[in-house]
Structures are given as C-alpha cells and as structure tokens.
Structure 1
Amino acid sequence: MKQKILCLTAINLISFTFPVNALNESLSETGIDVLRLQQAPYNLQGRKISIGQVEIGRPKKFALDKLNPLHKKLPIARLFYRNEPAQPNTNIDNHAMMVASIMISNHKGLRGIAPSAKLYSGAVGSLKSAGQPEECLTTQNIALQNSGNVRAINLSFGESLARDDRETPQLDGNALLTQCLDWSARVHNVVYVVAGNQGRGGIPIPTDNYNGITTAYSMRKDGFFSKVDFANLSLSPMGIGKALIRQEINVGARRSVTLLAPGNKINVYNVDGIVEQVTGSSFAAPHITGSIALLLEAGNNFLQQNPTSWTKDYQNHEVIKAILLNSADKLKDNGDGNLLGMTRNVFTQNNKTWLESDAYLNPEIPLDMQMGTGHLNTMRAYKQLKSGQYNYKEKVSNIGWNYSKIEIKDSHDYMIQKPLKANSYISITLTWDRLVELNDQNNNQEYDIGENFINKGLNNLDLELISNNNGEKIICSSVSKVDSVEHIFCPISETGEYKIRVKFTNQVHQGIQSYGLAWQSQVGL
C-alpha cells in the first residue's frame, strides 16, 4: 500500500509517494529509536503523562472544531487562546497541527512518539496584537494545566529580535520571553523544548534560554539521521546575511544548541488529515518533547515496581535534561561497548565529528556549536533512566543519575564502584538552572501582563573526572564559566578506579544549588 504525500516548497507543490511502513522513519532505529519502546516488552505510549505546546495558532480538537475523522481520537486534553479556553474553529494553524502529530498522533498509518499522552495546546494569536507578554502568559497557562503537572512544553515558534522592545536587542538571555521560560522551568518544574533558530533572520527568541533544551535538526547521512542540516546556524555564518545571522547567535561564549534531533523531510499529518513532508527545527523539537513523555511514563513504571529504591526525583527537569543530553549519540560503537552503545557517527555541516570539535578539545566549552552534546537517542535515554538513581554518599554504578543540592565551595564525589575499562569512554552531564525571579507586583504568584522578571544570574558549577590510581589526578574536566551545562566525553587511558566530582565553584545568587547529573561508562574485567 502506498500513501500520497504533499510537500509545499517556496513556489511549487511537489507530490511524493512513499510506502506506508516508511512513514515512521524518524522514529525508527535510524532516527531516535522509539518504535521499539512503543512495543513489547517496553509498551511505552506516554500514558498518564501531560505535555504542552505553545504556538501562534493551535491544532484542531474533536467536538470543538470541524475536523477530518482521522483526527477524531487525537489525545488533545484542552485547547486555549492565550489563557482562555479556545473558541470553536478559531486560531487553527496547520503548523501547530503538524507539530502535534509528531508528538501524539495515534493513527495506525503514522503514529506519533507518545500517542497516549495528553496534550495541552495554547495559541498566542496574531502577532499584530501579541508580543512577548502574551506569549509568556500563554506559556504559563499551559504550565499550570493538569494541576501544574505538565512536565514538558514544546515551543516550535519564537520571537524576532526586530520586535523586541529593548533598546539594544540581543540574544543575552534577557528578553522577556526567555526569562519567562527560565523562571517557569524552575517554578513549574517543566522541561522547555525550543526549536533552534535556522539563521534566516527569523525567530531567535527564546533560543537563548538557559534552563531548557534548544534543538538543531538533522538530515539523513548513510541511512541515519546523523548530520546537522545545512539550514541550521553554522559556527561561521557567511554571505550577505552574515551580519544578521551573527545577531541571532548567543552573545559571548555561551552556546545555544543543546541537542540534535530529526527535522529533514519528516512525515506529518496536516489539519486535513493529509500526510505532508516537512523540514525544520520546528519538527525536531517535538521529537524531544514526545520522548520526554515516554521517559516519564517509564519512570512512573519503575517507581511503581521499585517503591523502596526509586523516588520521584526523575521527574525533575534538571534530571530529564541531563539524561537526554548524556545519552545522545556521537560516535558509533563497534560492538565492544567502548563507545557506550552509541548507534551512529554524528557529523556537523562540514562533516566533522565530536572528536574534532572544540567541545571535545576545550574544557571550557561543554557544547558543540552545531550539535550540542549529540543526536537524540530515546532508547539510550531510556536505558540511562532505568539504570537508577545513586547518591554521592555511596559508591555508584558505572551508569546512573542523581538529583541533589550542593552548597558553595562544597564538592560531591561519585566514586564508581567497579574499575573502568582502558580504551573506553565515559560520558558525564551536569545541568542546573539560572535563577530568574518574577517581579510579582500584585503578589498572586503568577505572571500578569505588565510585570517583568529579574535575572539573578547563574551560579558556577564545575565537573571533573578524577583517577584514583596512584593518588588523585584530574583526567578530564568541564569548567565553563557561562553555561548551565557541563559535559564530559572522555577516553579512559588505563583500567582503574575513577570518581566523578561536582563542584560549586562560584556563588552568584543563592548559596545552595540544585542540579541533575547523569553518567555512563564501561567497566573493566
């Protein structure tokens, strides 16, 4: 059986034909590897998990809008226009529908990542009457749904610097919408997933957030989604748009992109129930948001099965972010486990690998400019989560995660119980929040239009891998002064005992800092 696909280009309507069984390619092992997680023995569908979406418009919902019968059972919980219930057949947007289908489509011909998750979607409305205040209000409203239990929110839209009312707009983390996301991530415990800017003079705000995940998108290479697409921002923008594109990269040394996900020629349902093929970071972001729903369902299952050894710490946004970034693919494992079971080689636009990146070579740079920590692999993230939580006060497994709090000038040492294997690699990721507070003029603990936010800054945490062979020796470190992520991908030169050290190096605001940590390594014989 074959399905006809329509794809709109700049000036042409192009018709493609694909076998139906190829429609879920980005969800397969050549993409993010979630199809296996949807099947036995995992059976993950996003059950009892609520996720969110904020767009200019909104998708359609049965019993509210006129819609194609194919969308009748789409698991949309509620729809909103800003912070009010959506009105029938208003603010409907094809883009929002296509993004939603990647996350929650439950049609057997083209299933989404989390077809049983509940989606709350908010429409900002026409940009003629809306700006960052209305966008923040809409975002907050979604975060408050389901009694405040919406754990991931997808933003496949953004704001132009040209519309920012600051005197000198730039990507410094201080636009109102960016501060809104960083405040909400902490207050509402939400992982915000933001579509990365594509360098066309477009929508860079809030790609300069600290506390969420900003994604670039990948294209196919050698049969896998494994290469940064050419439409993403590159390290050295060239051509007539060079000055404009430079404005749309974070100021200073802080990197924007944290993770890579499929976004080139992705098959989605539009509002009319027709399958279209689309490209862009807008369609990479929902791959991550949908994956978070599966991880949270898995965490709920693990907690129910192991109530004495599991806590709800896996639900913290810092932990989910650390797990996703730490489990990302960089270099293909040849079967011996030395590269931690990674499934593909990931390439930048100019065909360079992680081993050639400044993020690998410079301890002050935790993220590659183009790929972040690598390519999303939801199966590896599942295994990272399943490994369980380990406290720094006791010896830990070679793979695990933790959520903890650290005081200024203190350090937490995670002693790995078994010797690590020579000629293998270890991956470690540390995440924490920038502190943004609401200037709450009416003391209702919610953002209201006319209010603003206060940037309290970013405490500085550092990350080290230390060898205990013949005394302590720092083998690798990640010591960025500007990022809210530290990441180590480090070769183990000799079999022996090692420990991971988290350090609270410099206090900028509060003297106690929460953090998420994830690690994976290969033990020796």
Structure 2
Amino acid sequence: MVERKVKLVPYTTEETLDTITEVPEGIQMVQAPSLWNEGVKGKRVVIAVLDTGCDIHHPDLKGQIIGGRNFTTDDNRDPKRVTDYNGHGTHVAGTIAAKENNRGVIGVAPEAKLLILKVLGTDPNNSKSATGRYEWIINAIHYAIKQKVDIISMSLGGPSHHPGLHDAIKKAVNENILVVCAAGNEGDGNEQTNEFTYPGAYNEVISVGAVSARREASLFTNSNNEVDLVAPGEKIRSTIPDGKYASLSGTSMATPHVSGALALLKQETKEQFERTLSEPELYAQLIKRTVPLGNAKTLEGNGLLYLTTPNILSRYVRSQQTTPWFLKL
C-alpha cells in the first residue's frame, strides 16, 4: 500500500535570533552577490514555495509575496490562510528571496517574487514537525502550473513513489517550469548506499544535496545517482515567523539556494540571449555553474553551486580532480 503521508525533510534548529544584519554565509558561498553587482537579482521571476506556509508579514519578506493558497486542513481549510505554524516554510522563503532592506538577511534572489503554497499542515503527534498528503502537493503543483510560475521549490519528501505526484511534476517540467527538490536527510555516511526520498528521487526534478561551510558533504545528506548538485545546508541563517531569525540545517536549507540561483540565471540568460530559455537549457546553465568538491558523485552530483564559475574553469577543475584554492577555508 502506498504511504499517503509526506513530511518535512527533517531539519535541525541550531539557534534562534531576534535581530540580525548580514548576507548569510551560504549565499556568499554560492557567489550570489557577484550577480547582484551586475544588476541580476531575479527580477520578474516567480517561485512557488510548497511548504508549511509563510509569515507574509515578516519585515524581510513583506512585498516579496504575490499570493498564496492553503491546501491543508489547517485553519478550517481556509484557502486564503497560509499561516506558518512551524517556521520551516518561512525559513525556506527567506533563503530564496528575502529582500534587500539593510537589515535582517537577504535571499539569493532578492528581487524575485514568491507564491506561497501551503501543503504541509500541523502534525498532531509532533509540534515540531508538519505533515501533508500527496494529494495536497499534487493539487498545489497543478495550481502553480496554472499560475505560470517559473520555478517550483519543494523542501519536503515522502518514502514512496506516487504516480500522481510524478505525473504532476512531469507536467510542470513539460511547461518549462524548473522543479527543485531536497535530496533528503536519511544519509548514513556511506556513499555506496542509496537513500531515496520522493519527489527528490525523480529524474525530472533538480535534486539538491547538502554541504557544510567547509565544503564537506553533510553526514545526513542522501546519496544516490539522482543527486544533481549540492548547496550549503548546515547552520543556514534565514527568516522565521514573528519577525525573527534562525539557523537551521538540512537538505531543506540547501534546496532554496538552488531555487534562488535559478531565478538569477533565468533573468541573466534572458538578457544575454534575448529570449527565455527552456527548462533543459536552464538546467544546463545551472550545471555549468558547479565545481566538483572531490566527493562521490552519488553525494554531490555535479558539484557545489558556484554562480561565477566559467565553463573553462569548471572543465579545468574536473580534469585536475582537486578542489580549487578559492573553495578552501
């Protein structure tokens, strides 16, 4: 029997802060500021965030959200209420697109817009967790398609393949929507064993693993041949409800770095090529902006997201099979 429950990709809370002013370390690691300096900040790109909802009044997110819809049973199923009772969705949203306001944090794509789709509701058995049904996620994906979003970001997962979920994702990709998913946090530290979380294990999605600030594969990150690339996923500082901030760890935190990066690349390539690139073309542009870290391909896929990596440097690093000096601490 197919498991009908989907949960948050597990994550760890490292610290909670009332105030902060910084460009988070993970965003510096992926070199997002270098594109900001060129005027590329994700303008006119819309990312659908399928998660626990969002604090739409957070100072760093106010004005970044163009709409939302609740697909869960929270708040008596009110479709207009996307209140985040967990904090996970607000944290993900901040990493993607927290605005530039000289306080708090800033996201990878500070001029991108967010469509908040709440697909994970309160878990009656665990106040720190959130659960949802595959049907809620499927309905949200179809809604995102109708809204003509550019990117779908999902930091969630379930243990089983679900044909309806897979079909919805394939439909989104066929509509040239990039679908980014967490690889999962069931890793056992053995690169030769496979751990799968769905939808992250589907070939059609961009599956994101996690690394530490030292560019080492996180002990919790899943290993399998569907991992496309890795991004910072440990002690990531971002927004949480009530105007606060927290450092969280997990592939849930790595995923929004890639979703935000794709918003930057979509704007940059549209200006460069004077047309909107297709989903496969944008995926290729993303993979060009990775550098290998020396981990097994099952752990890091094509390597670490690094937005300023020229093709020639990427080829050189691969030929040398070593970590370039600028990635070392």
Q: State the partner residue of 1:98.
A: 91
Q: State the partner residue of 2:35.
A: 37
Asked if the contact 1:53/1:142 (under 8 Å) is kept, the reply is: no
Distance change in 2, residues 1:199/1:426 (3 Å): same
Q: Secondary structure at the match of 1:264?
A: coil
Tell me if 1:233 matches 2:188: no
Structure 1 residue 189, shift from structure 2 partner: 1.0
Deviation string, structure 1 residues 326-354 (Cα, Å, up to 9, x no partner): 32112xxxxxxxxxxxxxxx143xxxxxx
Distance change in 2, residues 1:121/1:85 (3 Å): farther
Q: 1 or 2, which has the higher strand percentage? A: 1
Give the Cα separation in 1 of the matches to 2:315 and 2:118.
42
Q: Could you tell me the percent identity over the aligned residues? A: 19
Match of 2:171 among 177, 183, 186: 183
Q: State the partner residue of 1:194.
A: 181
Q: State the partner residue of 2:24.
A: 24
Q: State the partner residue of 1:108.
A: 102
Q: 1 or 2, which has the higher helix percentage? A: 2
Deviation string, structure 1 residues 352-393 (Cα, Å, up to 9, x no partner): xxxxx5xxxxxxxxxx1000011101223xx56xxxxxxxxx
Give the Cα separation in 2 of the matches to 1:47 and 1:292.
12
Q: State the partner residue of 1:272.
A: 242
Give the Cα separation in 2 of the matches to 1:89 and 1:288.
23
Tell me if 1:133 matches 2:135: yes
How well do the aligned residues superpose, as a CA RMSD in angstroms? Answer: 3.2
Asked if the contact 1:54/1:122 (under 8 Å) is kept, the reply is: yes
* 1:373 counterpart letter in structure 2: N
Give the Cα separation in 2 of the matches to 1:268 and 1:191.
23
Structure 1 residue 160, shift from structure 2 partner: 3.0
Deviation string, structure 1 residues 294-313 (Cα, Å, up to 9, x no partner): 1111123224xxxxxx443x
Asked if the contact 2:60/2:94 (under 8 Å) is kept, the reply is: no
Higher radius of gyration, 1 or 2 = 1
Q: When the two structures are superposed, what TM-score results if normalisation uses the length of structure 2?
A: 0.78
Structure 2: 5+ residue runs without aligned partners?
1-10, 124-130, 189-194, 321-329
Structure 1: 5+ residue runs without aligned partners?
1-7, 62-66, 162-170, 235-248, 250-254, 304-309, 331-345, 349-356, 358-367, 385-398, 400-423, 428-488, 492-525
Q: Secondary structure at the match of 2:308?
A: helix
Structure 1 residue 184, shift from structure 2 partner: 1.9
Distance change in 2, residues 1:183/1:127 (3 Å): farther
Distance change in 2, residues 1:86/1:108 (3 Å): farther
Deviation string, structure 1 residues 54-91 (Cα, Å, up to 9, x no partner): 11x21132xxxxx45x2463410001113998434646
Give the Cα separation in 1 of the matches to 2:218 and 2:132.
31
Give the Cα separation in 2 of the matches to 1:490 and 1:379.
19
Distance change in 2, residues 1:378/1:14 (3 Å): closer
Give the Cα separation in 2 of the matches to 1:134 and 1:89.
14
Give the Cα separation in 2 of the matches to 1:137 and 1:51.
16
Give the Cα separation in 2 of the matches to 1:18 and 1:95.
18
Q: State the partner residue of 1:369.
A: 298
Asked if the contact 1:182/1:209 (under 8 Å) is kept, the reply is: no
* 2:157 counterpart letter in structure 1: G
Q: State the partner residue of 1:413.
A: none
Distance change in 2, residues 1:203/1:156 (3 Å): farther
Asked if the contact 2:182/2:208 (under 8 Å) is kept, the reply is: yes
Q: State the partner residue of 2:291.
A: 329
Distance change in 2, residues 1:185/1:72 (3 Å): closer
- The alignment of Structure 1 onto Structure 2 pairs a total of residues equal to 291
Distance change in 2, residues 1:200/1:217 (3 Å): closer
Give the Cα separation in 2 of the matches to 1:72 and 1:26.
18
Give the Cα separation in 1 of the matches to 2:82 and 2:221.
34
Give the Cα separation in 2 of the matches to 1:24 and 1:95.
17
Give the Cα separation in 2 of the matches to 1:175 and 1:137.
14
Distance change in 2, residues 1:318/1:127 (3 Å): farther
Q: State the partner residue of 2:197.
A: 204
Deviation string, structure 1 residues 405-447 (Cα, Å, up to 9, x no partner): xxxxxxxxxxxxxxxxxxx9848xxxxxxxxxxxxxxxxxxxx
